Amino acid sequence: MKHRFGFFSGACAAALLMFGASAGARAQVTQATGYTPPDDTPSVNVGGTIFADYTYIQEPTQTDAAGNRIHFNGFNITRAYINVTGQINHLIQFRITPDVVRVAVPTTGPVQGITGTLAYRLKYAYGQLNFSDFTTKGSWFRIGLQQTPYVDFEESIYRYRFAGPILMDREGFITSSDLGASVHWNAPENFGDIHAGVYNGDGYTSPQINDQVAFQVRATLRPLPMIPVIKGLRLTGFYDGDHYLRDAKKERVIGLLTFENPYINFGAQYEKSKDQTTSGGTIVDENGYSIWATPRLPDCGLEALIRWDRVTPDDTKAGRKQRLIVGPAYWFPVTKSGVAAAVMLKFEQTRYMGAPLQKPTEESYGLFTLLNF
């Protein structure tokens, strides 16, 4: 049987060679005019992102080891990515990104080893299968440690992550990265996109701790992409359905309106959350708002950030938290996509109002920098 198969294979090969030679003698096939074949060259690129700042805490004051009342201040690194990206061919891409984190100092016991130092952990590590051969460019499937659908999307318009996370990330309602599988599709003619996936639900900083998974989906509509004046208008809806335990709901719903043009980026968000931390326990309803604008003079790189957040942790109680962030910024001129450098002077105030959130007002000033290359 093996011998017959070998003979058959050899005969087929000979016939194919003869046919190819005959066809080549008759005509030479050329690609259609204007056709550019996809780049299947394997490649690896290395880049980085650095967020560095100096922050002065005006309120509340703290007490040092000698009992003195002090205004805490210091330099810090809040992000130091090493981005390794590349492709196997035009269909298969990958990314590996470690992220810096400060190892927590224990509140009791001796301080030992590297505790309190900056250490690296994985933020992204995924493979991507591109669908551009049979649908719109920018459509793909990912598996691994990757961006969740919402945070990365809003941050790409907001652009001031280096001065602090957006509301949903900062308050811990959703995480920016998680282990899972997701699919992304761009609508034709720039009318919007959809990003949906299944994730562990515990975020990139935690292992999977139960038998529940999270389903997340973001759908964005650009209503009038053909009209230059308002093509930057987008309407976005997001849903995150998860459980702390079986029969213990964890749900997030977001509505977001954004607008972009050369002179301003604007965003207005409303979010609603439900948390039931024990099976059959009380469901806590929470809501929040975030409104921000970044007016700018594009010819000289000058911008400003104006942002207001309000969070009500429990709709049945009066307590709420309000945050104000303002400050000027300068974006250095760059000529290459994916490269950015900026510096910002920031004032931030957080007020706690009503029981059970009555706490001292927090105020800080800072110099924040961004390097992305």
Q: Digits of tens for pLDDT over the chain (373 positions)? A: 333 333 334 433 443 334 344 444 444 445 555 677 888 999 999 999 999 999 999 999 999 889 999 999 999 999 999 999 999 999 999 999 999 888 876 655 554 555 678 888 999 999 999 999 999 999 999 999 999 999 999 999 999 999 999 999 999 999 999 999 999 999 999 999 999 999 999 999 888 888 899 999 999 999 999 999 999 999 999 999 999 998 899 999 999 999 999 999 999 999 999 999 998 899 999 999 999 999 999 899 999 999 999 999 999 998 999 999 999 999 999 988 889 999 999 999 999 998 788 889 999 999 999 999 9
Q: Please name each of the domains of the chain with its CATH number.
A: 58-372 (2.40.160.10)
Q: What is the pLDDT of residue 357?
A: 81
Cis omega (within 30 of 0) for bond into 149:
no
3 state DSSP class of 182? strand
pLDDT of residue 93: 98
Question: What pLDDT does residue 33 have?
Answer: 59
Please provide the size of the chain in residues.
Answer: 373
pLDDT of res. 318? 86
**Per-residue confidence (pLDDT) for residue 297, from 0 to 100:** 95
Cβ(360)–Cβ(59) under 8 Å?
yes
Whole-model pTM: value is 0.86
Residue type present at position 290: S
In a 3-state reduction of DSSP, which class is residue 207? coil
Q: Both tokens of residue 235? A: 């309407």
Instruction: Give the residue among 96, 153, 90 at the shortest CA–CA distance from 127.
Output: 96
Cβ atoms of residues 323 and 349 within 8 Å? yes
Other beta carbons within 10 angstroms of residue 351's beta carbon come to 16
In the prediction, which pLDDT does 108 show? 54
